[in-house]
Structure 1
Amino acid sequence: MVRRNDERRAALVDGAIEVLARDGARGLTFRAVDTEAGVPAGTASNYFANRTDLFRQVAQRIHVRMGPSPEEELAGAAGPPTREVATAQLQALFGRIVADRTGYQALLELRLEATRQPELRELLSATIRANHAQDVARHAASGMPGDRTTVLLLYLAISGLVVEHLTLPDMLEPLTPDDVIADLVRLLMR
């Protein structure tokens, strides 16, 4: 029984991501989530205490969806600490984000909504800070060139690159996102 509830919760959260990406935060209602997930009306209200709880679970799920698979984690940890490995890892990250366009659009909508809701801003800030701390720790443990500032600058640059690619993909021409990522690593990981 618990497994079914977990599956339904995941379907509801994924439905919420779709609604958020398509309709924005104002369109994210329990009724819209129920409809998107194909469940009876009132189901979402049984799984989420309120909209803030729904936003929190959406934010957590988006980061899981865009994270590396266990196989990618192992492959990254097994490689030598070189700029080429770092480039490949960042290109894979970019690829995962772009492949889950809806998830990233929903994340951007969450960030916009966080400018209006202090509780959501605190929640997203804590999530992003925790993710960044994990990235810094992984980077330090890997022996890759660079430090905490390098990781922060790469995060900010990749975030901007994703937004440009998803909204104005022709802006980069004649460069490709892979070219830009390779240049970022070359310039920042000294």
Structure 2
Amino acid sequence: MEADAAAVRLLRLCLYQSRDIGFAHLQFRRDVGLSEAAFGLGVGLFYFGNMLLEVPSDLLLQRIGIRRTLLRIMTLWGVVSVGTAFVSTPAEFYIARVLLGVAEAGFFPVVILYFTYWFPAARRARVTSIFMSAICVSAIVSGPLSGLILERLTGAFGLNGWQWMFVVEGAPSIACSSSIARASSRGKRRISMTSVGLKAQMNA
């Protein structure tokens, strides 16, 4: 129970990773030298990469399993997000956005699918709704957080505010990836053992 609750909290925390490119718009576009059209193109390229690898990511899940899949997604997700802080040309921005979409591809299908392993049917709808609420909560939290970072951290250690925003909001994905993978593995084993126990009782 505690491991499952921890997994949900960690997954929700990782949703706060940097998807707030819009908050960095003014500083970022000026420093990288992007026009409004170029900036909009870069934002949209995220969805191109995500759509391109959504199905292959889910197929890869069947080959490498839940633990490695979540570890891969969360680590790459965070690394690319943090790496976006250091782009300096429009081409690099485009590449970073495509890679971010590729890294995130398959995340929600994997999580929703494996809630069936972590939680019994009676609790699954409630847990899924709590997890999905992270979308709203992240919007509430990330807005003020992004504004605070842009205002207070500009110039710290030679980095601009928008660079700090990507670093601070992308780091949780990297930090949480191994913990989520371990929690998912424990949850799957727990459900498997429970299923074996129930079958034994029914056959007794």
TM-score relative to the length of structure 2: 0.31
More relative contact order in 1 or in 2 (CA 8 Å, sep 6+)?
2
Compare the two structures and name the one with the higher helix fraction: 2
TM-score relative to the length of structure 1: 0.33
In terms of Rg, which structure is larger?
A: 2
